[in-house]
Amino acid sequence: MNNKYPVLEYLKKYLKNELIENISTPINYPTTISQTLKIDIDTIELGEAIVKIDADSKIHGNQQGTIHGGLLCELADAAIGTAHSTLMQENESFTSVELKINFYRPVWKSILKAHAKPIRSGKTLTHYDCTIYDNKNKKIAYITSTVMTLRGEKAKGR
């Protein structure tokens, strides 16, 4: 028998290493991209998430030798997607509509944390802000994003 858990409950069990066989959730966790990049969930609450990555320019670098901005975008998107997934009900899914990032300072090596939380939540559109901090708690980037909740037929296969 497969027990489907709400996303928030599932992720809290995931963080505590309390998942057992036959427990699942409608959303796939951990995501393939997060596994590939080694992005981990640090903290999870309803509508809010902090994700982290051990970033190193020797692995995640750009032409200038600093952490690539695309990695920062992915880290923010992972935090926002994780936060929004906790709001999903049965037969719901979501998609990003827009994401804007401002870069504040370069990073060469640090454990980066992205903290996402909603600015405004509507029935269909939710606006998020997300700040990325380094291991000295300095702001690295600020991101805003709009996420659309899909329901019923529009959510199938997504």
Residue in 139, 125, 118, 111 with CA at minimum distance from that of residue 55? 111
What does residue 33 show for φ and ψ, rounded to 5 degrees? -65, -40
* pTM of the shown model: 0.94
What does residue 137 show for φ and ψ, rounded to 5 degrees? 65, 25
Instruction: Give residue 152's region: left, alpha or beta (phi > 0; psi -120 to 50).
Output: left
Could you tell me the two tokens for 110? Answer: 């640090």
For the chain, give every domain's residue range.
3-155
pLDDT at 123: 93
pLDDT at 22: 80
What string of H, E and C letters represents the secondary structure of 53-90?
Answer: EEEEHHHHECCCCCECHHHHHHHHHHHHHHHHHCCCCC
pLDDT digits (tens, 9 = 90+) for 60-114: 999 999 999 999 999 999 999 999 999 998 889 999 999 999 999 999 999 999 9
Class of domain 3-155: alpha beta
Say if CB 34 and CB 78 are below 8 A apart.
yes
